[in-house]
Structure 1
Amino acid sequence: MKAVKPWQKGVLVKRYKRFLADIIDAEGQALTIHCPNTGSMRECISEGSPCWYSHSDSKTRKYPHTWEVATTPSGHWAGINTGRANHLVREALDAGLIEPLADYSQIQAEVKYGAEKSRIDFLLSGNGPDCYVEVKSVTLMEAPGEGLFPDAVSARGTKHLRELISMVEQGHRAVLLFCVQHTGIERVSPADHLDPAYGKTLREAAHAGVEVLAYGARIDPENSEIALDRALPVLL
């Protein structure tokens, strides 16, 4: 994914009220921008560090700028716009880069499904049983190379795992795909110390036949580009 309009560079002052961040732009002016991340953003925020943000021409937006990439305390880059994760996965699916999912001829997004009234991120069809793909964005790294999910208690994430288990029980294929937007992460595990219920349910899902994959992103903020480019191991 290469942004249509180049991202701009600033310096992070602080993130607050979940959806807002203050930065200093390239001209030295203070600017409030939208933070498109509802999570805790643990280990993603380093005040005083470089950040990159996009601009929208929409006349209806109160804050026309959106935070895209942060410099983490470890000095790596993290794509903190969780809304980008599905776009990155869709690009990779269309290009056949996610090898275990490369043989499907049809891709549908945001399809209603499940007993708990969920929406699956991608429904793949055209090659045997339908394949239900749930995408989760990973940006938490607490130890070198170790990616963790979730970064806070996620009842919604646990619900999605139950839905995937149900799809396998009905004879479909189900996949949990971790989209890793962090240049320092080399493997992914459940964050048991933050959400033990999620970790427990994830292992139950894997035992039930839900496939768990992780793909890492190349992040180049100076060229306004993020793209999935490598498979990563998942350690349960």
Structure 2
Amino acid sequence: MQFPKPLIPGTLVRRYKRFLADVTLESGETITAHCANPGAMTGLADPGIPVWLSLSDDPKRKLKYSLEVVQVDDGAGPCCVGINTSHPNRIVEAAIGAGAIPQLAGYETMRREVRYGTNSRIDLLLESEGRPPCYVEVKNVHLVRQTALAEFPDSVTARGAKHLAELAKMAQSGARAVMFYLVQRGDCADFQLAADIDPAYAQAFAAARDAGVEAICYACNVSPEAILLGGPVPLRV
């Protein structure tokens, strides 16, 4: 995913009320940006870190700036991290379409936001004649508490546990069900669940795996110019 326009550099002043961030631009002006991330953003919202913003031309938007990328160092050197949780679905969709994810290759059609289960929508539904449908749920990952180890979730997510239960039902019905974890950073060698943060999610994950749900994890190469799919990341179970 290439950013359509150059991002604007700045320095984070604070992130607050979940969806707001104050940033000082290189001009010295301090603006308030939209932060499209409902999670805790542990380690990614420290005052003083370098950040990059997109600027919208939409006259209806109250906040013209959006926080897109932050730079941190969790022991493996400076690393850019994508924090906009609206991007992972598009990144994975584009990668599947380009044949960049072998585990999800070979399907004839791909649809987004298809209704299924109990008042749920699957992120991506892959279909081919003669093959079971493949339900793909995408989750954004950016939490790092140990050097080179990505974790999910960074806060309690009852919605995430519900998605796992819905995928388990699809797998039990004969469909293929995949939980896809996209790490929006490139400094992680392994991935695991943050069971101490959300034990219920970890339990739901174990039950889903027992039901036949697959788990796939990929990293990203993140820069102020683009967020591109990287390589697979091993899952610690």
Give, in whole Å, the separation in 2 of the partners of 1:14 and 1:193. 26
- 1:119 counterpart residue number: 121
Separation of aligned partners in 2, 1:233 and 1:203: 17
Q: Give a deviation string over 1:56-94, Cα, whole Å, max 9, x none.
A: 100011101100001235232210000001111011011
Instruction: Give 3-state SS (helix, strand or coil) of 1:27's partner.
Output: coil
The more displaced of 211-220 and 69-78 is 69-78
1:76–1:182 CA contact under 8 A, matched in 2? yes
Match of 2:80 in 1: 77
| TM-score normalized with structure 2 length | 0.96
Q: 1:11-32 deviations in whole A, cap 9, x for unaligned?
A: 1110011111001112111111
Residue in 2 that maps onto 1:59: 59
1:193 aligns with 2:193: no
> Partners of 1:26 and 1:153 in 2: how far apart?
36
Partner of 1:18: 18
2:54 match: secondary structure = strand
The 5-angstrom pairing of residues 1-236 of structure 1 reads 1-72=1-72, 74=74, 75-114=78-117, 116-126=118-128, 128-221=131-224, 224-236=225-237
| Residues 90-125 of structure 1: CA deviation (Å, up to 9, x unaligned) | 1101111111101101000000000x2110000000
Secondary structure of the residue that 1:93 maps to in structure 2?
helix
Runs of 4+ in 1 over 4 A off after TM superposition: none
Deviation at 1:183, TM superposition (A): 2.3
Query: In the aligned structure 2, how far is the partner of 1:72 from the partner of 1:111?
Result: 36
RMSD between aligned alpha carbons?
1.0
Asked if the contact 1:45/1:71 (under 8 Å) is kept, the reply is no
Deviation digits for residues 181-232 of structure 1 (CA, Å, limit 9, x no counterpart):
02222211111000011111111211211000001100111xx200112111
The answer on whether the counterparts of 2:186 and 2:230 sit within 8 Å (CA) in structure 1 is no
CA distance in 2, matches of 1:45, 1:187: 23
Q: d(CA) in 2 for partners of 1:187 and 1:199?
A: 17
Aligned equivalents of 1:10, 1:191: Cα separation in 2: 31
Whole-Å Cα distance in 1 between the matches of residues 230 and 145 of structure 2? 23
Sequence identity (%)? 42
**Structure 2: how far apart are the matches of 1:157 and 1:80?**
18
Number of aligned residues:
233
Residue ranges of structure 2 left out of the alignment (5+ in a row): none
TM-score norm. by structure 1 comes to 0.96
- 1:37 deviates by 0.3
Displacement of 1:44: 1.4
Deviation at residue 46 of structure 1 after TM alignment: 2.4
